[in-house]
Chains A and B, each alone.
Chain A
Amino acid sequence: MTTDPSPARVTADADVLAADLLVGGPARAALDHVREHSWVTLVASGPLLDDAEAVIGTLGDDDLAGDWRHRIERACELVSHPDDDHPALAAAYRGGAMHLLTLDDSLLSASAGAALRGRVETSPRHPRAFAALFDAESLYREVVGGEYPGPDRDPRD
């Protein structure tokens, strides 16, 4: 089962999820936009979070990875997909995420974009591009309606 695509639904590949925690920079700026708006949904899957947790465990430590997993599961909507699918692409497709944030050059390439267009309504984007182009006012008008009231959540909570 899939969810209707929406520009207010976002999937972050495991590299972006781990970079948000361990690096900061564009990944954190992009996911801060998601965290500070309750009407923007982060879509993920168990295998996608497994990948990010493994990377955090490798580059950080297991306690940090475990606590991150507890926190991220409260922050996202989980969808399921076949085990052999690419976790980020499958989560985005099944969860109706029109934005797929990734650091993976193979997904960001023009050929990947061309291959995806027409088959799925998901656009892979570098988190820097998403952070720069995110327009909360116009997106709020489109998906919620009315005047944008500003951020409604603390992105550090």
Chain B
Amino acid sequence: MCVRQGYAVTRYSPGKALYSARPTPPVTWADLFARADRYDRTEADVSDALRRHRADDDDDD
């Protein structure tokens, strides 16, 4: 099964319905925090990444 934001989609397989879709609950903050926890990042990581991202954007202009 492929899960995208808002819908669960069952892919085609022989003998099953060709396609079905049903709404899934919206993503919650609790879910997002649980998924993000494994990256174990620090404020310094975030600050550095944003500084680099904005510097790259300035270089592109």
Question: Which A residues contact B (CB, under 8 angstroms)?
Answer: 13-15, 18-19, 21-25, 27-28, 35, 51, 54-56, 58-60, 64, 66-68, 70-71, 74, 84, 103-104, 155-157
Contact = CB atoms under 8 A, between A and B. Distances in A.
Nearest to B37: A24
Closest 5 CB pairs of A and B: A156-B30, A22-B41, A55-B49, A19-B46, A15-B50
Contacts, number: 82
A51 B54 contact: yes
A51 B52 CA distance: 11
Given A25-B43, A67-B5, A157 B29 contact: yes
Chain B interface size, as a band, is 20 to 34
B6 to A, nearest CB: 8
Interface of B: 5-6, 26-33, 35-36, 39, 41-43, 45-47, 49-50, 53-54, 61
B47 A103 contact: yes
Contacts of A21: 32-33, 36
A64 B35 contact: yes
A54 B43 CA distance: 15
Given A60-B39, A64-B32, A64-B36, A23 B27 contact: no
15 contacts: A18-B50, A21-B32, A23-B43, A35-B29, A51-B53, A55-B49, A56-B36, A60-B39, A66-B5, A67-B27, A67-B35, A70-B27, A74-B26, A104-B47, A156-B29
B53 A58 contact: yes
A13 B45 CA distance: 15
Contact of A60 (B6, B36, B43): B36
A18 B52 CA distance: 14
